Amino acid sequence: MIRTITILLLLLFTPGISSNAQDPQFSQFYAAPLYLNPAFAGSSGLARVGLNYRNQWPAFPTNFVTYSGYFDYYFDEVNSGVGLLVLSDIEGLAGLKTNSIALQYAYQLRLSDKLSFRAGLEGSYVMQNVDKNNLIFGDQIDFDGQFKPITDDDIINRDFRNNYFDFGAGGLLYSSRFWLGFAASHLLTPINSLINGDSKLDRKYSIHAGYKFILPSSANTSFPGGYREVSVTPTAQYKFQGKFSQLDIGMYFNYEPIVFGVWYRGVPFKTVEGVTNNESIIFLAGVSTNGLHIGYSYDYTVSKLGIATGGAHEISLRYEFFIGDPHKPPKNVRQIPCPKF
């Protein structure tokens, strides 16, 4: 096992060898709207704050832990939304840390009585680092399999850090029942290497869509306000980055204030090095009340890694509220019908 880990680390961190990194992901991607698409900035029509936590493969020492927090607000006088997004990601045995902060702007345009369009831009600053004490280099390996202290002066004196600026954009077309979005990240293809300077981060593209079906049982005079939304919302997201691609497809069932969801992740018609790209089945449960939305999801691994990985646990918190003069509520903004989880 030690020998296998050593080989993997050498492949990832030896100079001259490039690796194409992939972005962290959230199963509850609509609970991380600003991370999904900058066009969602201010999309609630109110002030909104949210937190996301994901722990992938917790049973493995090579697990991935991701934290995200965001705040956005809609300025109805200028049909514009602004957002602030912070993210922290810790990867694998070496503890590669990636922290980023992003500012977003989105403009909302009403195309017709039924259609609206939002365009969004994002500028971000990313900071990466790894503790070299967590790494194993070739000159540390003795013939008897024992590890020696680091002796290479270049490694001892090197600070394994990488900081860069990045840029993204997105668009969102929607009505009261459907939406279709597109987002592009890493448009500047920044250098993404702690050692050499020729490994660039591939652009990431995402297409996401869905349709909400309101069921007749939504009318309920016993529910506060005389209306309880009961709906079914099939959704899909397809994203690709370099040679990697992924499909999320599934459905949400909302019986206000409770929501359940299930969807599949993978690309079954595509193989990677001869292995079918099946990743996981995802289950979700959430509750919404008075502007507060709380969700929990679990990824059941169906790939060859198996359930021994521990799957993935994800928690989302989101709160929407009004800022300003209570006697002057915001204009009637068409709400995007996508799920809040």
Residue 35 Cα distances to 51, 189, 279, 336, 337, angstroms: 11, 18, 21, 16, 18
pLDDT digits 0-9 by tens, 89-141: 988 766 788 999 999 999 999 999 899 999 999 999 999 988 666 666 555 56
What is residue 16's predicted lDDT score, i.e. its pLDDT?
A: 32
Q: What is the pTM of this model?
A: 0.86
Tens-place pLDDT, residues 94-105: 678 899 999 999
**Dist CA 164 CA 192 (whole Å):** 8
pLDDT of residue 222: 62
- Average pLDDT, stretch 264-269? 88
Mean pLDDT of the chain: 83
pLDDT at 337: 87
Query: Hey, what amino acid is at 324?
Result: G
Compute φ and ψ for 21, nearest 5 degrees: -75, 155
Residues 132-156: what's their mean pLDDT? Answer: 58
pLDDT tens by residue, 2-52: 333 333 333 333 333 334 457 899 999 999 999 999 999 999 988 999 999
Q: Which CA distances in Å does 207 have to 72, 98, 185, 247, 249?
A: 22, 24, 12, 10, 12
Answer for the pair 22, 64: CB distance below 8 angstroms, yes or no.
no
Q: How far apart are CA 265 and CA 248, in angstroms?
A: 5
56 pLDDT more than 80:
yes
Task: Give the model's pLDDT for residue 259.
Answer: 97
Q: Using one digit for the tens of pLDDT, what is the confidence trace for 305-337? A: 778 889 999 999 999 998 876 655 555 566 788
Contacts of 235 (CB under 8 A, 6+ apart): 30, 208, 209, 210, 248, 249, 250, 251, 252, 263, 338, 339
- Over the stretch 284-304, which tens digit does the pLDDT of each residue have? 999 999 899 999 999 999 987
Q: Express as a percent the part of the chain with pLDDT over 70.
A: 77
Q: What is the pLDDT, as a whole number, of residue 47?
A: 94
pLDDT bucket at 214, cuts 50 / 70 / 90: very high
Element (H, E) at 157: none
Q: Which top CATH class is 2-13+22-321? A: mainly beta
Residue 156, pLDDT > 70, answer no
Neighbours of 57 (CB within 10 A): 19
Burial class of residue 273 (count of CB atoms within 10 Å of its CB; 0-12, 13-18, 19+): exposed
Cα–Cα distance, 180 to 206 (Å, whole number): 11
Is residue 30 helix, strand or coil?
helix
